[in-house]
Amino acid sequence: MKKLSLVLVIALALCALPIAARAEGTLTVYNWYDYIDESVLDDFTAETGIKVDYVMFTTVEEMYVKMTTGGGKYDIIVPSDYIIERLIKDDMLTPMDFEKMPNAKANLLDNMWTADYDVGNLYSVPYMWGTVGILYNTEYVDEEITSWSSLFDPQYKRDVFMLDSIRDTMGVTLKFLGYNLNERSEEALGKVRDLLIKQKQDGIVQGYLVDEVKDKMVGGEAAMAVMWSGDAMYAIEDNDSLVYVVPEEGSNVWIDALCIPKTSENAEAAMKFIDFLCREDIAQRNYDYIHYCSPIRQVVEGLDEEEAANPAVNPSQEIIARCDFFHDIMDYMDVYNKYWMEIRS
Amino acid sequence: MKRSFFSGPYALWMIMFTIFPIVFVALYAFQDNTGAFTIDNITRCFEGTYMKVLWRSVKLALECTVLCVLLGYPCAYFLASKDFSKYKTLFVLILLPMWMNFLLRTYASMSLLERNGIINAIVTALGFDRWNMIGTEGAVLYGMVYNYLPFMVLPIHTSLKKMDQRVIEAAQDLGANPARVFLKVTLPLSMSGVISGITMVFMPSVTTFAISKLLGSGNFMLMGDVIENQYMVANDWSFGSSLSLFMTVLILISIGLLNRLDTNKSERSDNW
């Protein structure tokens, strides 16, 4: 019995070890998959001597779970707007000090200071932004797509990819049905569920995926896909027949922003890193690599004519006007999750 | 005393990586999000949505196991027979895929099965219409069989290899024809290998999740996907845990049943 308790003590001690063994001068950055030109990280280390430990997630819900359950300790995270709203509400973020971030202060576009989840960027610095829309392949689609209704059109059998992301997929369906993007009513969500289940039963859906979709669209695997604008742009670069459109019913506009969790012990270095990302040459490299809309003035001004006319990288005011931000509906997510499981199972 | 000293590291290992996690899972399963005791999570497991997923998971896992037995037994039989004993390479070829990460192999399968994938390139070149493979239940089943087949072949092969050849010769001497020798001697004696093969294939396939996502294109949620979803998306660890616990109990019961079958069989073959 004594031996067993000794073993238990050792086991507990071992569990505690990794927390103590963190090197000074290292930043842990927790970002989306495929969301940075990784050579930028080496340059940051070369310039400042601060090492970067780079880890990635696929959906922002996954990031939120890892962050709040102590699955890892991060110095910089890149949540989306409605998650930032929640993190601010829960007092989990370190306030930003723009005196220490001259590039961010000077280079961020004016409309990047006014988003309603964090007016004035007190706790977050926009990293990339974009919209949700339909990417379609003109080789398979003869009409010009302007409405979400094409996603439910039976002539596109096994030809539509949906996003395996709860807020996006349910959000655009809500928009299609004429509801608010942040709808809180079981009646509306029930209609969304019925429509999405019918879409599946009619054999229109080829799959629910996230990261794999862009490569599949490049390879001509389907006629259309619900997609984030940057992924769409990535696919368009590799396949000329692809076109991105933000449907007329409206959609979601979003901002992914850099934040520093309260648990970070390296806030100074983290702000250095954020400021580094806002430097025009670094922002340009990241834009060239991932193709989401950049919040940095010089990058937007430097767009060539073709890019400037493309709604995937440079949505017009008119497009933005019909799009909304997601808001945090944490207390209502149980209902969303319930309907989501019914759709997906 | 001395001997138990050596078991120390294993005890530590078991406590850290088996006992602790199971205790945590069990604790979570009986808590609501405030930490109070509840059995709601357990009763929720029996809701229609999850029963449907469970049924699909079990059905696919059973199909996978049956296919693995049908494909794996002849394979192991021929590899263990004298004719093939010279060809060690064949055996290595069975093991070879296991040297690579299974996710990589599944991604590779994906590009085989896609609409413009390699198989369809051949099919259309031969003048046929494209086959719909990716995103179907068949594709998921294929991925599972492909991944778990070695786990069936290996134990059967071992049990056939260690079989006393003189028993078979005796049966032949006593006038049994080859079919009779196989059915009455070889098969019963290799049953323990088949049973452990079934266990090793059924368990991972009933809880699989990455394969169903990549080859099923996310169209078919299996129990593993639902549990992952509860942890990663819904952020409902309690319900995720109770689903895991539910699966653990289910697997325990099926292993228990299998073991009974095994002892019955070997008793019978002992009394033969």
pLDDT in tens, B99-109: 888 889 999 99
CB A36 within 8 Å of CB A286: yes
For chain A, give the percent of residues with pLDDT over 70: 93
Number of domains in chain B: 2
Verify that B8 and B79 share a domain, yes or no: no
Any domain includes B141: yes
A chain contacts of residue B8, beta-carbon cutoff 8 Å: 3, 7
Min Cα distance B137 → chain A (Å) is: 12
Lowest mean pLDDT among A19-28, B27-36, B136-145, B226-235: A19-28
CB–CB contact A345 B12 (8 Å): no
Radius of gyration over every alpha carbon of chain B, rounded to an integer in angstroms: 23
Lowest mean pLDDT among A36-40, B4-8, B59-63: B4-8
Q: Phi-psi category of B35—alpha, beta or left, where left has phi over 0 and alpha has psi -120 to 50?
A: left
Q: Which of residues 171-190 of B touch A (CB under 8 A)?
A: none
Verify that B6 and B80 share a domain, yes or no: no
Lowest mean pLDDT among A4-18, A52-66, A302-316, A327-341: A4-18
Verify that B142 and B246 share a domain, yes or no: yes
A chain contacts of residue B216, beta-carbon cutoff 8 Å: 207
Amino acid identity for residue A140 in this structure: Y
The dihedral over CA atoms of A179, A183, A186, A192, expressed in degrees to the nearest 10, equals 50
pLDDT of amino acid B265: 54
Amino acid identity for residue B5 in this structure: F
B chain contacts of residue A221, beta-carbon cutoff 8 Å: 114-116, 134
Min Cα distance A207 → chain B (Å) is: 5
Measured between CB atoms, does B219 come within 8 Å of chain A? yes
CB–CB contact B232 A59 (8 Å): yes
Measured between CB atoms, does B215 come within 8 Å of chain A? no
pLDDT of amino acid B1: 55
DSSP helix/strand/coil, A132: strand
Phi (first) and psi of residue B33, to 5 degrees: -75, -5
Which pLDDT band, with edges at 50, 70 and 90, does A219 fall under?
Answer: very high
Tokens of A139: 């080789």
Measured between CB atoms, does B49 come within 8 Å of chain A? yes
Q: How do residues A133-153 score in pLDDT, each as one tens digit? A: 999 999 999 999 999 999 999
CB–CB contact A209 B231 (8 Å): no
Min Cα distance A149 → chain B (Å) is: 21
Q: Is the dihedral of CA B244, B245, B248, B254 positive or negative?
A: negative
Q: How do residues B175-205 score in pLDDT, each as one tens digit? A: 888 888 888 888 888 998 999 999 899 988 9
CB–CB contact B52 A209 (8 Å): no
Closest CA to A77 of A122, A113, A29, A119: A29
Nearest to A11 among B4, B16, B116 (CB): B16
Domains of chain A: 23-128+254-314 (3.40.190.10), 130-253+320-344 (3.40.190.10)
Verify that B203 and B97 share a domain, yes or no: yes
The answer on pLDDT for A13 being more than 60 is: no
CATH number for position B139: 1.10.3720.10
Any domain includes B241: yes
CB–CB contact A61 B233 (8 Å): yes
Nearest to B219 among A15, A61, A207 (CB): A207
Which pLDDT band, with edges at 50, 70 and 90, does B270 fall under?
Answer: very low
Min Cα distance B62 → chain A (Å) is: 19
Residues A188, B259: Cα–Cα separation, whole Å: 51
Verify that B24 and B150 share a domain, yes or no: no
A chain contacts of residue B233, beta-carbon cutoff 8 Å: 59, 61-62, 166, 337, 340
pLDDT of amino acid A7: 47
Measured between CB atoms, does B3 come within 8 Å of chain A? no
Verify that B66 and B199 share a domain, yes or no: yes
CB B61 within 8 Å of CB B206: yes
CB–CB contact B53 A222 (8 Å): no
Reported ipTM: the value is 0.81
Q: Is the dihedral of CA A338, B38, B56, B101 positive or negative?
A: positive
Domain that holds residue B23: 1-30
